[in-house]
Every structure is written in structure tokens, then in C-alpha cells.
Chains A and B, each alone.
Chain A
């Protein structure tokens, strides 16, 4: 992965993406396949594939500055995952990643100089990727080269075309933000209001999501459609539950009660074991992880809901979202019977009222039609 050796700069930004990809040995065929896959994943019509291909071919590799704050580097690990040389990862390689302190060779003043240079050169055009939350209670909790995270974010954000908070920490505060939040951690969107922000949450997020967002930006020059939590709808539009392969068991009421019971062995629904699938919106159940191998539920573990705000404070990973405390069928029967009784009581009452109204009828004659004075 870390093939870059150009000192302060990871790669030259003069190349087009097409040229860079060909230099890395990506065939036209697999490139087009990637374009088609991206189009379908983002729910774009197939007619957009050539447009994506053309845009990517000729796009000047965008300058990207990556800032890491209060984070665990899991997001970087996820996104630079190089199990095979996929086109996604090559695209990722082929952006002009001008500053990323985990990946870059330069250190100290050299590294900061690279960031400042990239900012100056591409002012107003670079993409800013952020992972990790920002401590605002005491800036001393996290600093880089003596600059507080807050100052660095605000300074770097000024010239950004758009900001992509990657991972739940950057998007919603994540684990540092969890109760009691000693560092006063906040998300990027809590601090920056005047720039387009595309949240790519997840702990960590799925790699293809970030390449998808980049592709969209390069192809259309605009940001993808976002949901109310600032996430691209193409990837976060559906709940894990709605796309879960264990959904039929949920519908039939077949649940694993413990991790080692018959239900668990038979692969039944993990809802009662605390699965947050019904309230979590992400693409795990469709794109899966590790080159499409599986995703947590497929591995037998309930979804933690890591792409949702406050997921760490959701009341326990193994606590079911809500479970009836009594026998449902029996209670439903009682409730039904009570409803029928109440309904017929109300009906009888209404009938009595109506009957009484009729019995109190005073005959109307033409005299009654005259207006009151």
C-alpha cells in the first residue's frame, strides 16, 4: 500500500486519474466495471456509466488533505485495506493525498509544510477528510505539531471545497463523545456550518462508501444526495434490518435467545440479543466487509448500530431494542377482547344517545323556520 516515496508529497497532482490508473496496471475493462458498479451502488441510471468513466478518465486528481484527531486509526485501516489491489483502493491511491500523518513519509515540520503548501496551491478546491472527534473542553487532549485539533480544523477547513468526516467520531462524536465525554469531544458538523459536509459514519465505515463519494464528486462536481444526518442516501438509505438475510426469521418470530442456543446455531434473528439492525442505516448487509466476505450479523453477532449517532450510549449492545415483557399472543387476545367490549359499549352508548335524541324530537313546523329576532 504505502508505495509513495515522494517525500512531503505522496504523489504528483498533475496526472489525470485515467493516466494514474493505467500506470498502475488497471485495465480499461476493470475500470469500466468499477464505473458500472459505482453507478449501480449509488442508484444512478446505467446511462451514467460512460459519463462516470469519462469524468474519472480526465479528472485531475483532486488534492486531499486528511486530518486525524481523536481517533484510533481504524478508519484509515479500513479505507486503506489492501487485501487485493481493487480498483477502489487504486482510485484511493490515485487521489493526490497531500497530507495524512499516518501514511506520509515526511514528519515534523516537513509534514506541516506539505499541508500548508497543498492548502495554498489548491485553495478552495481541495477535499478535506477528517477522522476523529475534536476535543473542545481542553484543547490539550489532542494536538499535532503543537496545534490544537480545533485550530487545525478551522484553519484547514477555510479553503476546502467540501469536508468529508470519515467514521462516527468525526461525523457524530463517536466513542470520545460517549458519556461522560471527558474531552468535550464534538463532531465536525458541530463546529463547521458554512461548508458542504458529507458524513461517512461507521466504526469503521465501509471503504467503498468513500470511493463512491469521491467518484460522485469527480463525475458531477457536486455532492451526493444526503439524508437528515448528512449521510449519502445511496449508501445509508436503508436499514440493516430491511436488507438483512436473517429478516425472514424475524418475520416468523424465530429468535436466538442466547449465543449458544439452537436458534443461534440455526442462524435465527439476533434481535433479542440486542441487534440494532432495525434502527441502523448502513450498507453492511449489501456491500459487506473484507472483500464481500460477510458482515457482523453474518458472523453471528448483532449489529451495534455503529453508523448512528450516540451508538455507544444506546443502553447496551446486548440489550434488545424493545422486547415484550409478556406473552404477546395472549395479551393481544385480551387487548382485542377489551377493545371489542369497549367498542360495543361505546356503540351501545351512542345508540342510546341517538335514540334519546330521536325520542326528544320536537315536531318542526313552518313557524319554526322563521328567523329569531
Chain B
């Protein structure tokens, strides 16, 4: 067995593909990505420039795949990749990057920097320079089945409460259902109302759906920590269940990276084309709206705004659907500056919220969200990601702001007309 450092270099070497080589060769060092990064704008510290975060990957590329880089390495002139170097970069790669994708949007030469940071994490993860919180979450995800250590018995208990409170049946392991609904641990433990809302809406619209007792967890710690092998294992659990239950579509819950994991990275990780569709819950709800299957009554009349979760909006393309749905139930919907595909990240995605060491910078970076909210004098904030929601609530408390943060799915459920 090789040392962890050798493993890291090897992992980075494996990650370098044609896009990475062309991105690294085309960087013109303009620094525009810095202006797009929350962690740079809110701290002013140039070390948070996104392209600098991929330095471990860049060094390996230069020393392994470029002529002059290899010459330099041969003569001992190249900057070495050492444990100290990787240790220094750990904070940059994990604590101060939410993989929100804003840097990739502004790069004038079209470099997908987020793609490279994701790849850099592959090397960092095996090097041992990775936050304890993420290691813990990933270990729990693999061994227990959920990063928060939630077992099916806990979900069963929540289902019983929900069925009692809402009066709707929550189907589990129903073979042949149209939709397999995934959840995040965050919803199970902190926002069980989401399960109630889904049950209510699907009952209202006569949707055939089910949960799975074997794969209910949609989140994927493998994606966040940056280990494709683990990410593939976690994705495979969902794929197996979807196939076993013969569903037509898997619904990703109100969670950002879960959507990226199953919809965009999923087939690549599983190594095959899925025999079912993957949709985000907002996409499903908007389809129901278009088909006229959602009847609502009453409008929220306070000033309401929507926070686009990065993985769902910018990275996932689900931008119109939430707005269509909000307009059904809100009369004073306002858009924050930069809303939509250039929305600012809440500051806690990409594993940052799992990493306690990053708490300080996470809350510091919240200033940007605070400014956005103040600009429109929002009275209520709607979002579609439990992670964003928890962190925004945390940030609002830290900055002494009193704005309720609500889930779009739950809000919609509240306004449904009762079935005759």
C-alpha cells in the first residue's frame, strides 16, 4: 500500500482529463473568478480566488502532463507536492468553497473552475487532508445509510407522526408506483413537514408515489467529500431501489447537491443510462401545475422573495419552475438583486455546513445574503433546499434579522384547496 501522499498524487493524475488540461492551459490569470466568489468578496482575502483553490491539481498537471513541467520536475525545479502543501490547501478546497459554480459562470475563457475543484477534492480526500466533519458524514452515509446517522426506524417514526398530523397515507415500498420520492436526512429530522406536504400534494393531484425503506436518503456525501467510488456506491443504492420498485421517475428532494448527484453525476457514476427519469421536486410540481392538477386558494400578501439554491438553479437549470409556483400563492413576490442563475450562494453548500471548522467563514460570507435581503426589504424568504434553509436561519439569527424562511413545497401544500 502506498502512502497517502502518493495516493493523492495518483488520484489527481487520474482526474486530469482533456477539459482540465485545456482549462489550466487557458487560464489568463485575470482574477475575475475572485470577484464572483462569495468567500473572496466577503473577506477581501486574495487566497480565496477560486482558480488558486485548484493549485494541487494544477501542479500535478504541470509536472505530469506538460513538457516543461516534467523537465522542471526532472531537474528538481518544480514546486513539490508535499503533505504541508496539501494541508495548507485543505481550508481552501473544503472550508471556503461551496462548489456553487459562480466562478465558472464568469470565467472569460470558459474554464469550469467548479469542475476542477470537484476533481481536486478527489486527491485531497485520499490524502487525509479533509475536514473531520465530512469524514464523519461520509462514514455514516456508507455504514448507516445517512450522513446524519438516520436509520429507517427513525423515518418510520416520522411517517407515523405525519400520517397522524396530516391525515394522509405515506406509501412505502410500493412496487409499480410512478414516482420514487427521495428525502434528505435534514428533512426527516428537522423538516418532517416536507413529508406531510408531499403526501398532501400528491394526494391532491392523484399522483402514484412511494418511499423506499432501503434507499430513502438522497444526499450524497461522496460528492461533497470528493470520492467518486463512494458517491457511486451511494447512487447505486437509489438506482437499485428504483429498479426494484419499477418506478418511472425518481424525485430529488429539496436539497441542492442531491439533485446534482443523482441527476447529473448519477449515470456517470453508475456507469450506465438510467431506465427511469430523475426530476427535482420543483420540476414535478410545475409539471402538475401545467397539467392543471394543482388548485390553490389564497395568496400570501407579505413581501416574499426566493433564494435560488446553486445546485438547483445555476447548476441544475431549475429557474422558471419555482417562480411559476410562487406566483400561484404570493401576491408580492420580489426578486433579489442577482437572483436566478447568478444568485449568490447561501455560503453553506458543498459540504461547508458539515464542517464545523468553517463556521466562522460561513457566517461571515452570509453578509452577502443579508445585503440581498435588505435590498428588497424581504419579509419572507422561500427556498427549495433544506441545507440553504438551515444555514440561512442560522445567518439571520447571527445578524439579528427576523425573516421567516420557508420551503416552497410546504408553502404550496398550505394553499391547496381541499379535495371534495
Contact = CB atoms under 8 A, between A and B. Distances in A.
A366 B139 contact: yes
B230 A365 contact: yes
Interface stretch (B9-17, B313-321, B401-409): B9-17
Interface in A338-373: 346, 350, 353-354, 357-358, 360-366, 368-372
Given A353-B64, A362-B7, A369 B17 contact: no
Contacts of B65: 350, 353-354
Counting chain B CB atoms within 10 Å of each CB, which of A365, A368, A370 scores highest? A368
A262 B14 CA distance: 63
A360 B11 CA distance: 10
Interface in B89-145: 125-126, 128, 130, 135, 138-139, 142-143
Contacts of B229: 363-365
B47 to A, nearest CB: 24
B138 A366 contact: yes
A369 B125 contact: yes
Interface in B13-54: 13-14, 16-17, 21
B225 interface: yes
B23 to A, nearest CB: 15
B415 interface: no
B372 to A, nearest CB: 36
Contacts of A361: 14
A364 B126 contact: yes
Contact of A350 (B21, B138, B227): B21
B67 interface: yes
Contacts of A365: 142, 229-230
B323 interface: no
B227 A364 contact: yes
A39 B229 CA distance: 72
A373 to B, nearest CB: 10
Interface string B380-419: 0000000000000000000000000000000000000000
A360 B227 CA distance: 16
B139 to A, nearest CB: 5
A224 B317 CA distance: 59
Interface string A90-108: 0000000000000000000
Given A346-B67, A369-B139, A372-B128, A358 B14 contact: yes
B204 interface: no
In this complex, the interface size class of chain B, counting residues with CB under 8 Å from chain A, is: 20 to 34
Nearest to B65: A350
B357 to A, nearest CB: 14
- Interface majority SS on B: helix, strand, loop or mixed? helix
A363 B126 CA distance: 11
Interface in B123-175: 125-126, 128, 130, 135, 138-139, 142-143
Interface residues of A, number: 18
B125 A364 contact: yes
Given A369-B227, A370-B135, A357 B143 contact: no
Interface string A267-308: 000000000000000000000000000000000000000000
Contact of A369 (B13, B67, B138, B228): B138
A190 B227 CA distance: 67
Contacts of A364: 11, 125-126, 227-230
A69 B143 CA distance: 94
B66 to A, nearest CB: 8
B125 A357 contact: no
A357 B17 contact: no
A249 to B, nearest CB: 35
Contacts of B125: 364, 369
Given A354-B13, A354-B16, A366 B128 contact: no
A364 B231 CA distance: 10
B110 to A, nearest CB: 20
Interface string B353-368: 0000000000000000
B4 interface: yes
Interface string A174-194: 000000000000000000000
Nearest to B16: A354
A361 B230 CA distance: 14
Given A350-B21, A353-B64, A364-B230, A369 B130 contact: yes
A365 B13 CA distance: 19
Contact of B14 (A357, A363, A370, A371): A357
B13 A357 contact: yes
Nearest to A343: B67
A102 to B, nearest CB: 58
Contacts of A371: 128
Nearest to B229: A364
Contacts of A357: 10, 13-14
A350 B18 CA distance: 10
9 residue pairs, one from A and one from B, having the closest CB atoms: A357-B13, A357-B14, A364-B229, A366-B139, A369-B135, A371-B128, A350-B65, A366-B142, A364-B227
8 contacts: A350-B21, A350-B65, A353-B64, A353-B65, A362-B7, A364-B125, A365-B229, A369-B125
Given A363-B229, A364-B11, A365-B229, 17 more contacts: A353-B65, A354-B16, A357-B10, A357-B13, A357-B14, A361-B14, A364-B227, A364-B228, A364-B230, A365-B142, A365-B230, A366-B139, A368-B7, A369-B126, A369-B139, A370-B128, A372-B128
